[in-house]
Every structure is written in structure tokens, then in C-alpha cells.
Amino acid sequence: MNDECKGNSTGSKDSPSGQNPFERLCIVQHPTRGRMLQSLSKFRKGEQLFRESPILISLQDITQKEQELLQRLSTQTGLHLVDDFVFLKSFCHASADIRTKVLDCYTPRTFEIEKSKLLSSLIKLADLSRRYPWARDTALEELRKVILVKACNAHGFNFQSSSSAALYTLGSKMNHSCTPNVVYTSQRYSDGTGSFIARTDIYPGDLLYISYIDAIRSTPMRQSILMENYLFKCDCPMCTEMVDNYRGLDCTNCGIGTIFHNNKTHIWKCKNCGLTDTPDLEQEEKVVSEGLDFLGSLTARSPNYLKAELYRVTKQIGKAHAITKLFQKQYIETVLLPAAASPGPPSRQAQEELSTMTSEIMEWCDWDPSFLDSSLIQIACILGRYAGNFLLAKKFLQIVKADMDFLMGNMAFDNDMYQIVIRGIKGCDNGTRNDIPDLQIGSQEDPGCPIQ
């Protein structure tokens, strides 16, 4: 994305070994993307490139009146705005030096903002914040810039049981790619720093990219999200040159295969029969649009409505499309997992459905454990403890363990969920159900699931 508005970096916290990150990294001016981070050394997959302390973290208490304002705005816009509001408040309470560093970060050009419902709503939130004493001494244009800085540059931050947003000096200099070579985590250390880790092998001269979004979407879905949230079109290899494995549709030629779109040639080809096909793209667009609207609504929390929509979407678009996987994920986390928390062991039907649906997601393309987050731990423990499916449960737990090892390093051993994973793997190895943790998910009183 364009980055002309960013100023010069002021540096970063040294690496754990005391090495200055600028001995292995540098900031370069890209002709179209603005300033970017570039590697001066080789980094192996899993190696930490650098870590740094945030410039600013959105950690401030909010008053009852402020909560009422946010509730009204959230109702009007359909957006969750608490973190943005708190970031504004944190900025207004910050020192002059911190303010300067925050304002040094990238923001979109003013005339582009109206193209995004999200960014337009954030500007309105900045305007409304002027009614509070803590914001009255800050210029309106400055407040607007700050909230856009947060929207376009901040990272999620977990520290001392608090979840918030953090802004980094070097971390904000990386552009987006749907196939990034760097991944970020705030769970690798306990001192409040963020870590940036090589997702692939990185070589001298390589530009550094992270993914701003969950990339497990079809190319049109990702492009729509990026345009709405960040006002740019992605031109990474996953969006331009590769077959879109997240956009599979049923083949009308052989009737059993799946056709996939090639982003470079724009040809749809069946992986089963090898013939090209011409799908109904208007139907696909309609199903995706309506599906995303449903998943973003309160109705998606209703088990009966969700199950009906999952059936409809699957029938209309097949099982190999990203929108179907998003519905399956929602169904697992909203229906099947709460059902497993109801008194007594889950029913055989619920166990089988949980096993089948999770396996379908995991076998789908380049699956990433973060797509189901910690739910995969819960799923594995249920399948091992109640269904006695030790092989599948261990497979799920080993995937989570590898992901946690990669992101958290030595800190993984101090994480409660990591210890549950270790115990679960040992229980699967021993073939002893009682050795696998009995996780209680959701509400005991209201499991919210029609499966009995």
C-alpha cells in the first residue's frame, strides 16, 4: 500500500542479544509503496527478526458516558469501536514525544477516506471525541489522523491478560501480502514487547511483508476487505499469479470435481476432469455477499438459523469455497462447541459432526491453525476424551503445538493452553481418556444447540 505519509523511523528496542535491528534490517523507499523494511541478512524460518516496545498501547479506562456514546455509535454503524476510542484517549494522555511518533505513521490521503464506510465512521468517532475534556486541547485534524493511524498501522496486543492495540515504530513499516514472509506475535515475551518472526526463509535484499488480514478468503473477498479497511488493492502472488484454492466451485462438466479460478489467466479448470468450465459468477457473488452479511449479523448466533444458512450456502456453492468454510467455522464455534459443554458427554451425533466438519476445514487447501484459533484445542480434547478418537485428536493437538512453538518460543511452556496441549498429546499417546483435559466450553445453562 502507498506509504508516502510516513516519516523517518527513530529506531527500535534492541534484540534480546543486544544487537541493533538496523544491523540486519534497513528502511528503504519503494517507488510505489513508500517506505518499507528490507532485510540485510539471511533469516531462517522461525527466527526472530526483531522485537520492540510499542510506541502507544490502547490501555485507558472509559467512563459510563463514554460507554453510552460507543454503544450508540456501534448500533448506528454495526462496528465495534471501543478499541479505537481508547486508542484516541491513550494518545491524548501521552507525552509530546510519543504523540510525534504516532503522527509520524502512515494514513490514507484525505480524499480516499470517503470510499470506506469503516474509515468514514472512524472519522466521525474522532469528531465526537472532542466533547470530552481529555480531547479538547488536541486539534480536530490531529485526532482524525490518530484514529486513521491506528486503523492502518496498529497490531493486536495481549499483555497481562489485557487485549488491546499497539503501535510499533518498525512494525508499522511493513506492507501487506496475503503470502507474507513475516508473522507478528505479542506472546513471545512477558515484558510487553512485540516480536516479528520469519514465516519463511528470508534472504538479503528481501522486502518484509506481514498480512493485515486473515488470508483464508477467496481473492475477491480479500480484495474487498483490504479496500474497505486500508484503501488499496493487493498485488501479491496469491492475488495475481496463483490458482485461487480458496475459490472452488462445483464442476458442471463431470459433476463430482471442483473448478478453481486462476488469478493470472482467469480460466476456471476442474482438478478432477481437467476441463475448463464457466461458472455462474453472479450467483457466486450473491452467495458470498449474502453470506458475509449474515455472518456479521446477530442472527448468526442462533443455532437454528445458522444451521439452515450453512446448508443453503453449501448446497448453492459447494464445500470448497471460502464462504462455506467460514460458515463451518462459525457453526463449530457457535453450535458444536457449546453443545459439548452441556451437562454430560456430547452426543455421538455431535461428536461425529464435530470430527467431520473440522477435518473438512483442515484438509482444505493451505490450512492455517489460526483459522480456528484455540477452538482446535477444545475440539481435540472432546474427540479424544469422549469419542476416543486419539489419532485425530493427537493430530489436531500437534498442529496447535507446532504453531504455538513457532509464535511463542520458550514462553510457550508458561502458557496454560500450551500445557493443556501437552497433557492432551500424552493422554492420546497413552490411550487414556481421563488423562486428556476436560475443557468446559461455553455456557452450561444455555448450550444453544439443537443437537441432543
Name the pLDDT band for 404 (thresholds 50, 70, 90): very high
CA dihedral 422, 426, 432, 438 (to 10 degrees): 0
Of the pLDDT bands very low, low, confident and very high (cuts 50, 70, 90), residue 306 is very high
Query: Rounded to whole angstroms, how far apart are CA atoms 439 and 325?
Result: 24
What average pLDDT does range 4-19 have in this prediction? Answer: 38
* pLDDT surpassing 90 at residue 439: no
Q: What is the pLDDT of residue 170?
A: 92
Q: Looking at residue 394, what is its pLDDT? A: 96
d(CA 304, CA 448) in angstroms, rounded, equals 9
Residue 71 has a pLDDT of 84
| Residues 263-280, mean pLDDT to the nearest whole number | 92
| Residue 67 confidence (pLDDT) | 87
| Cα–Cα dist 217/114, whole Å | 25
When pLDDT is averaged across residues 150-156 and rounded to a whole number, the result is: 93
Q: DSSP for 179-207, please give it.
A: S-SEEEES-S-SSS-EEEEESS-B-TTPB
Per-residue model confidence as pLDDT tens digits over 166-202: 999 999 999 999 999 999 999 888 888 999 999 999 9
The amino acid present at 192, given as its one-letter code, is G
Position 322 pLDDT exceeds 70: yes
- HEC string for 323-392: HHHHHHHHHHHHHHHHHHCCCCCCCHHHHHHHHHHHHHHHCCCCCCHHHCCCHHHHHHHHHHHCCCCHHH
pLDDT value of residue 16: 44
Q: How confident is the model at residue 5 (pLDDT cuts 50, 70, 90)?
A: very low
- pLDDT (mean) for 228-235: 93
Residue 445: the pLDDT is 36
Grade residue 161 by pLDDT with cuts at 50, 70 and 90.
Answer: low
Which of 385, 331, 323, 321 lies closest to 356 in space, CA to CA? 331
State the pLDDT at residue 452.
24
pLDDT value at 370 more than 80? no
Q: What band does 80 get if pLDDT is binned at 50, 70 and 90?
A: confident
Between 205 and 16, name the one with better pLDDT.
205
**In this predicted model, which residue has the larger pLDDT, 211 or 14?**
211
pLDDT surpasses 60 at 330: yes
Per-residue pLDDT at 160: 63
Residues 6+ positions from 343 with CB-CB distance below 8 Å: 444
For the segment 370-399, the average pLDDT, to the nearest whole number, is: 92
pLDDT at 110: 85
Looking at residue 449, what is its pLDDT?
A: 32
Provide φ and ψ at 399, rounded to 5°: -65, -45
Q: What separation in angstroms does the CA of 324 have from each of 25, 39, 350, 435?
A: 41, 38, 19, 35
Question: Tell me, what DSSP letter sits at residue 14?
Answer: P
Question: Average model confidence (pLDDT) for the chain?
Answer: 87
If residue 397 lies in a helix (H) or strand (E), which one and from where to where?
helix 390-408
**What is the spatial distance between Cα 396 and Cα 376, in angstroms, rounded to a whole number?**
7
> How much of the chain, in percent, has pLDDT values that exceed 90?
63
Confidence of residue 11 (pLDDT cuts 50, 70, 90): very low
Model pLDDT, residue 367: 67
126, amino acid identity:
A
Residue of 371, 343, 341, 344 whose CA lies nearest to 357: 371
Give me the pLDDT at residue 12, please.
Answer: 40
Tell me: pLDDT of 9 over 60. Answer: no
Mean local confidence (pLDDT), 412-441:
89
78: three-class secondary structure by DSSP: coil
Task: Using the structure block, give the residue that is written with the C-alpha cell 478499541.
Answer: 83
What would the pLDDT profile of 30-55 be if each residue is shown by its tens digit?
888 888 999 999 999 999 999 999 99
The residue among 376, 397, 388 whose CA lies nearest residue 433 is: 388
The reported pTM is: 0.86
pLDDT at 361 over 80: yes
User: 257: burial class by Cβ within 10 Å (0-12, 13-18, 19+)?
Assistant: buried
**What is the per-residue pLDDT for 70?**
84
In this structure, of 172-186, 338-352, 405-419, the range with the lowest mean pLDDT score is 338-352
